[in-house]
Amino acid sequence: MATIRLGDEAPNFNAKTTEGDINFHDWLGDSWGILFSHPADYTPVCTTELGTVAKYKEEFDKRNVKVVALSVDGLDSHKGWIGDINETQGTTVNFPIIADEDRKVSELYDMIHPNADSKLTVRSVFVIGDDKKVKLIITYPASTGRNFDELLRVIDSLQLTAYHKVATPANWNNGEDVVVSPAIATEDIPSMFPKGHKVVKPYLRTTPQPNLD
């Protein structure tokens, strides 16, 4: 089994989902994507996670991000569970859930970790750019629910740094100052970042976020 690393092309696949059959790359189109797995249907932490994702759809849409979930349970199970999610989380599931009973996608993306569980997927997260390249990989244990505010924060950083020669510092949030790429000479900063800059150290220069008015 090949290990997926940052910068690799996200493996393509065909799958059955609660919103019909998809070809993953075709379904993504020119959008960014989040592919995330959950250990099983009708489990408490996953119920809260999928409800949270449904509530965040507007935020994902603003960032041109499509979200798709996965577990090794079947479509009938998924569809029954969606009723529970909608009821208990006060929302409506508005994204597809992949039925991966044959574990093809789980194995393609190395979502089953035998030391954790030999059959069920761990809480894997893959953020995929509009170039179909893997931008972020996070793996949580089954006992820990994911922080989707953090995933939005990371997507903001990934999209900003993909198009501007900057990086984001620790605990950065959208709208805050960013770090100028070390590859840019200090004397070139004013022409590239006209909002101003601060030299903390020769290797640490900050500037206001460039993609905001």
- Domains of the chain (ranges; CATH) run 14-146 (3.40.30.10), 164-207 (3.30.1020.10)
- Two tokens, residue 45: 């932490």
CA 70 from centre of chain? 13
Q: What is the pLDDT of residues 113-149, one digit of tens each?
A: 545 454 555 688 999 999 999 999 998 888 889 999 9
Q: Is residue 149 annotated as a catalytic residue, yes or no?
A: no
Alpha helices in the chain (DSSP H): 24-28, 44-55, 57-62, 75-89, 104-108, 148-163, 189-192
pLDDT for 118 equals 45
pLDDT for 143 equals 84
CA angle 62, 24, 96 (to 5 degrees): 60
Q: What's this model's pTM, rounded to 2 decimal places?
A: 0.90
Q: What is the pLDDT of residues 187-206, one digit of tens each?
A: 999 999 999 999 999 999 99
> Nearest CA to 73 among 98, 48, 43, 110?
98
**Higher-pLDDT residue of 111, 190:** 190
Full DSSP string of 43-55: -HHHHHHHHHHHH
Catalytic residue among 15, 35, 46, 72: 46
pLDDT for 62 equals 96
